[in-house]
Amino acid sequence: MTLTHNPFLGETFMKYTSRLMLLSLLAIGFAATANAEYKETMDPNGPTKNVGSDYGLVDDNAKTNQSDVLQKAIDDVAASAGGRLVIPQGTYRFASVKLKSNVHLLIEKDTVIKPYWPEGEKTVVFNLDAERSSKKKMNLDQEKAFIENVSIRGLGGRWIIDYSDRERKKGEGIRGILAKMVRNFLIADLDVKDNYSVYCGITLSPMQTKNESKGWPVSRATDGTIRNCRIFNASAGYGLTQLHGAQSIHFEDLYANGGVTLRMETGAVGDKTAIYDITGKNIVNQNGRCAVMCGPHSAMNGVVKIDGIKSIGSAFAVQIGSGGVKAKELEQNPDAVDGIFAKGSYVKNIHAIFGMHAQVKTHAFLGIPAEYHDDLNLRWENKFFEGPSIGAVVDSSGDQYEMIIENVTMEGFKYNADKPIMTEADFPKGKWGVAVSKWKTDHGVSDERGTKKKKTK
């Protein structure tokens, strides 16, 4: 099915013209890199070092932070024109490890990496970015720096980043991999063991800058492939992958238990926040929010093409959001307008299977049939219910942009089975906040965790 909208309806003539010109430039500027992804640069017979035997990395069951050992190995391989670097099977603790150009990190099957993560802080395990000045203000050359031709992949099978032993706390956050100023990269064979923490397992971001220089070859994670990756017990507000800034990236064979598997919510603030030429295949979500989320905020995104989407007991298989400009964005950019995804974007071959352990945002409460109200549990910061799947696709793009939706099927749904593509008009009228408050009162829910109180006789 194709939903055709006028993306300029209701705007002033000036905003209409500006957006039309921008979309034309995007179509020209990114046509040459269409459907690009990682191109293999690793020589299977090239120089190889082992972080254990060559650098003294010790399998100590993650008792000590050995980030300096791994960083030394990466720096040496990079200084010798690159090559393969093997992490032997074991359990280690790392954080803020920076990959360098032409270094390919091969992590042996079943290796477990636990983050070095002091209480009250935010951290990342692997950082795909160039060296940055410690000073807040950088010159143009420093901002334009990037790394290229890098990979992190399994050797003989999957490898693991595990922070499932940490309880979620305010002010803390973790990313397994953060990709920023990197070109031609591969992330593969990763399992993330989460515990409903803040941030996604893999995040792609742009370089935020006030410099007006044009013609940067890289201004965000560019020309990459992310494949054969999974996350377990992901937060409803996050998930496996988050795209704030990305160009010419392919995603394939991704799975998330909880949260969102492929989250194309392109940030709420920042004029460099946008994604272009994104493709995906075989994206699966189980007992989460959805497999694919499109949320443009105020970003003028390029084309995204996702084929093969499945939800198993999740709230939806696909959520397509409207654009919107937040107050903080207007402070930085008074000319900001509602975001979009470019014409030609699509999601297709979508299958949704009903279940009762979905992560349903409280905003969607009115869409939960009354029959299931007694089965709901309010969880995850009191912002999400654990409850029933609602539908296959929900499209809230309205008249802001066109998203092609094709071949949607559903399985096991008692409600909304005749509405494979739902819009706001398909939800009951009313105020969701009032309805949630009434549900809390009716079910004796009042404590911070949202658990139900036992009713007294």
Confidence of residue 272 (pLDDT cuts 50, 70, 90): confident
Q: Which of 168-177, 214-223, 287-296 shows the lowest mean pLDDT across its residues?
A: 214-223
Percent of the chain exceeding pLDDT 90 equals 77
Q: Is the model's pLDDT at 438 over the cut of 60?
A: yes
Q: Which residues of 340-366 are buried (b: 16+ CB within 10 A; e: fewer)?
A: bbbeebbbbebbbbbbebbbbbbebbe
Q: Is the model's pLDDT at 249 over the cut of 70?
A: yes
Q: Which residues pair with 358 in a beta bridge?
A: 387
How confident is the model at residue 132, as a pLDDT?
Answer: 83
2 contacts 405 by C-beta, under 8 angstroms: yes
Q: Is the model's pLDDT at 308 over the cut of 50?
A: yes
Summary mean pLDDT of the chain: 89
Average pLDDT over residues 313-338: 86
How confident is the model at residue 260, as a pLDDT?
Answer: 98
How confident is the model at residue 217, as a pLDDT?
Answer: 83
CA 209 to each of CA 151, 299, 302, 334, 371: distance values in angstroms, whole numbers, following the listed order: 26, 16, 20, 17, 51
Q: Which of 35-49, 80-94, 323-337 shows the lowest mean pLDDT across its residues?
A: 323-337
Confidence of residue 456 (pLDDT cuts 50, 70, 90): very low
Please give the Cα distance from 245 to 181 (Å, whole number).
10
Confidence of residue 268 (pLDDT cuts 50, 70, 90): low
How confident is the model at residue 448, as a pLDDT?
Answer: 53
The distance in angstroms from the start CA to the end CA of the chain is: 53
Q: Which of 323-332, 391-400, 422-431 shows the lowest mean pLDDT across its residues?
A: 323-332
Q: Which residue has the higher pLDDT, 219 or 287?
A: 287
Average pLDDT over residues 29-51: 77
Q: Is the model's pLDDT at 19 over the cut of 90?
A: no
How confident is the model at residue 337, as a pLDDT?
Answer: 84
Give the torsion through C-alpha atoms of 365, 366, 369, 372, to 10 deg.
Answer: 30
How confident is the model at residue 137, as a pLDDT?
Answer: 77
Confidence of residue 210 (pLDDT cuts 50, 70, 90): low
pLDDT, tens only, 114-136: 999 999 999 999 999 999 876 66
How confident is the model at residue 343, as a pLDDT?
Answer: 96
Domains detected in the chain: 2-355+389-403 (2.160.20.10)
How confident is the model at residue 362, as a pLDDT?
Answer: 97
Tokens linked to 5 = 């909208």
How confident is the model at residue 166, as a pLDDT?
Answer: 96
Q: Is the model's pLDDT at 18 over the cut of 80?
A: no
How confident is the model at residue 271, as a pLDDT?
Answer: 61
Percent of the chain exceeding pLDDT 70 equals 87
Confidence of residue 213 (pLDDT cuts 50, 70, 90): low
Please give the Cα distance from 30 to 27 (Å, whole number).
6
Q: Is the model's pLDDT at 212 over the cut of 70?
A: no
Please give the Cα distance from 237 to 287 (Å, whole number).
13
How confident is the model at residue 32, as a pLDDT?
Answer: 37
Q: Is the model's pLDDT at 197 over the cut of 50?
A: yes
83: amino acid identity, one letter: G
Confidence of residue 335 (pLDDT cuts 50, 70, 90): confident
Average pLDDT over residues 414-432: 96
Q: Which of 73-77, 179-183, 208-212, 235-239 shows the lowest mean pLDDT across its residues?
A: 208-212
Give the count of beta carbons closer than 10 Å to the beta carbon of residue 335.
10
Q: Which of 23-27, 333-337, 419-423, 433-437 shows the lowest mean pLDDT across its residues?
A: 23-27
